[in-house]
Chains A and B, each alone.
Chain A
């Protein structure tokens, strides 16, 4: 694990972003929050089938 932390630390130090832990592009929750509000998230074959099944 120490090796993994060292490689992370080296990468973080070489990055321009001050705090990577709050950068949305490196955070699944932030990215999914954005995606969930998009039109793409609302449309899918599965969702159409599910809606049809619920209304049938």
Chain B
């Protein structure tokens, strides 16, 4: 399925501009990609050459025969250079289609081994098929099979070994100076997530300043208004003077100001781009001007678009909507200016659910629950797509943790926020709703929605952290149970 999708993608390139093709084919820096391609060429050719040498070593008599070992391996019907060219082209093409130069960089453990194994096996299988049908089948099958084994060892072993070394000796080049956070500016904090976050910040003793245009009203912050450490500013993040006033004397910024969700952004794309992307650029400049170091940005796992692979923070973003595209653009703006004096942290949130002081019922879980309760009937579109879900209180706690974490741990980092146990197919969600809300009828409808992604949370999960970060581990472990009740 994934390969078929990649072939469709390749076919589509004939209708695209060269710059678009380059961006889609090589989302990583091209110098890095070239180095990796060269390494794979060396490993592939080395494996096949090694296979030939080992095979010849087991048959010493062949070396003394007239035709020579090369002719015996290739049957002399096709030049050895043709074979070298064939397996080189096949390996790089198939490796790329499997995401070796984009997505699999961040895959971990068994899943990474599975992807590598599949790609290498496909290279040899296609090689044998091409040799059999187009090159008279002269190549030794024994050498091909031995080459497959060596390629698995070299191509797979090199990548998995590198991951092992990196995990053993974690390298952290950025060590920003610690800053004690006292006042936090929450942009767009009167919304679904912000109204769940701000009470937690106040409870922890932070001074909280809210800047919000109150498009969704201000009822959600009514209980906080009397709090002595709570300050409210009404304004739009697109207004320079509003942001300048709001950012003064703050040590941290939590940017939740956005038009959230694909349908909402599609209502007015210009407005969405202004609020979600252009305003981010302005916020960065003003924050840096004021010396605000800690900048937390609410992004979305929807940046991963559609993929059957397990996506992690290194996986290439593939936004399918205006909303996801603005998030990708903003992430890039922030990470491009990360330094010792300005360290953004990107939190890619799963699909939120649950109650907050400003409830939403246009989110999958909330919507299905409301429909089930109101009509006794829910409609699931497609149903097979995977989504990572996240309780709104757990999302709020993730922001809290980033504000309180050592700056060296979170500076300039992207974190997928969620838990493996909450990667669900939509049909599973509908079943859960139907099991809780009585007398519910579930209907399935296809609507062509391509968004489909499962997400890895290894980076933020306690397992990745060293013992020195035990506080982070303990806190995070207590908040990812999907109910929000533990918070």
Q: List chain A positions with a Cβ less than 8 A from chain B.
A: 1-9, 11-13, 18-21, 23, 25-29, 31-33, 35-36, 40-41, 44-47, 50
Contact = CB atoms under 8 A, between A and B. Distances in A.
Given A8-B366, A40-B236, A47-B274, A2 B215 contact: no
**Main SS at interface, chain A:** helix
B267 A36 contact: yes
A31 B361 CA distance: 12
Nearest to B263: A29
Contact of B369 (A9, A36, A44): A9
B367 interface: yes
A28 B362 contact: yes
B392 to A, nearest CB: 9
B259 A1 contact: no
Contacts of B360: 26-28
Contact of B361 (A1, A23, A33, A47): A23
B355 A8 contact: yes
B370 A12 contact: yes
B365 A9 contact: no
B273 to A, nearest CB: 10
Contacts of A1: 353, 365, 389, 391, 422, 424, 429, 432, 482-483
28 contacts: A1-B365, A1-B424, A2-B483, A3-B481, A3-B484, A4-B391, A4-B482, A5-B433, A8-B365, A9-B372, A9-B436, A9-B437, A12-B373, A12-B374, A19-B371, A19-B374, A21-B361, A21-B362, A21-B371, A25-B216, A28-B260, A28-B263, A28-B264, A31-B215, A32-B265, A45-B240, A46-B282, A50-B274
B162 interface: no
B270 to A, nearest CB: 9
Contacts of B353: 1, 4-5, 8
Contacts of A31: 215-216, 264
A50 B271 CA distance: 12
Contacts of B359: 11, 20, 26
B355 to A, nearest CB: 5
Range class of the B interface residue count? 35 or more
A28 B236 contact: no
Contacts of B370: 8, 12, 19-21
Q: Which 5 A-B pairs have the closest CB atoms?
A: A3-B483, A44-B238, A19-B374, A36-B268, A21-B370
